[in-house]
Amino acid sequence: MTDSLLQISDHGPVRIITINRPDKLNALDAATLDALHAAFALAAGAIDVRVVVLTGAGPKAFVAGADIAQMTGLTPVQGRDFSLRGQRMMREVETMPKPVIAMINGFALGGGLELAMCCHLRFAADTAKVGQPEINLGLIPGFGGSQRLLRLAGRAATLELCLLGAPIDANRAHQLGIVNRVFPAAELQTRTLEIAAQLANSAPLALRGILDCVNFGGESSIEEGLSYESAQFGLMFATQDMREGTAAFLERRKPTFSGC
């Protein structure tokens, strides 16, 4: 499936969403934000889709940021609305009930890193560069970067990336905990799809339970978070997949998970 802004293809239960503005290094304008919003809503509800991989078209960029040409003439109110529009879409990605992998094939700058940080796993090509360069435009991150980078990599890394504005390479991003894995560029897609296939064979309701615990329990007190985890853990005992997984272990065979 292709519209002009996104390419969407299914590889069995893995849906690949590719942002398709390579001539603008996949910069996020309002229309692309809206297209992503719709594509993720569709993927969330599609029963056959178990994992989503998000990437950028072309050899250079995942996403080189929010669209600077579109932002330059905005009024303060329009700027705030643009920020909210991006934040809403990205929160939808973050709270997806199925795993989302950012396959970072090149620059992930500004809104590009913010989008990648909403994904549940980040795999980067060794040629990729990430950063929050908004300061160079007289701006600050507006799609959640100041908050998510802080939670992901701590104050030191957040202040370094946001105050200095200089991109860092994939290996340093890995050292800082910003990306999960770094692969040679030529292997990025194969290795990402291998891990996506592994996730697609896992128990979907247990995956969802983990995502919910981290998303909704992780921002509360330890007592509330633990209580949320226990409730989710108990819920698993209502699933066929939990019976199947534990029975398969005891019978020394591979489980087959149905998502029920």
User: Are 248 and 255 spatial neighbours (Cβ–Cβ below 8 Å)?
Assistant: yes
* Residue 244 annotated in active site: no
Dihedral angle computed from the Cα positions of residues 226, 224, 159 and 126, in that order, rounded to the nearest 10 degrees? 40
Closest CB to ligand COA among residues 101, 109: 109
Tell me the one-letter amino acid at 107. F
Closest CB to ligand COA among residues 139, 214: 139
Q: How far is the CB of 152 from ligand COA (least distance, A)?
A: 18
Q: What percent helix, strand, coil does the chain show, rounded to 5?
A: 55, 15, 30
Q: How far is the CB of 112 from ligand COA (least distance, A)?
A: 7
CA distance 53 to 100: 6
Residue in 125, 126, 165 with CA at minimum distance from that of residue 145: 165
Q: How far is the CB of 174 from ligand COA (least distance, A)?
A: 20
Q: How far is the CB of 129 from ligand COA (least distance, A)?
A: 8
Closest CB to ligand COA among residues 6, 96: 6
Closest CB to ligand COA among residues 120, 129: 129
Q: Choosing from 92, 94, 134, 187, which is the catalytic residue?
A: 134
* Residue 187 annotated in active site: no
CA distance 18 to 7: 5
Q: Which residues pair with 100 in a beta bridge?
A: 52
Phi, psi (degrees; rounded to nearest 5) at 219: -100, 5
The residues that touch ligand COA, with contacts defined as CB under 6 A, are 24-25, 27, 64-69, 107, 109-110, 133-134, 137, 139
Residue 200: count of CB within 10 angstroms of its CB: 20
Q: Choosing from 92, 114, 194, 244, which is the catalytic residue?
A: 114
Closest CB to ligand COA among residues 110, 255: 110
Phi, psi (degrees; rounded to nearest 5) at 239: -100, 145
- Which tokens go with 238? 């209502």
CA–centroid distance for 111 within its chain: 12
- Which tokens go with 228? 């949320």
Q: How far is the CB of 218 from ligand COA (least distance, A)?
A: 27
Active site members: 114, 134
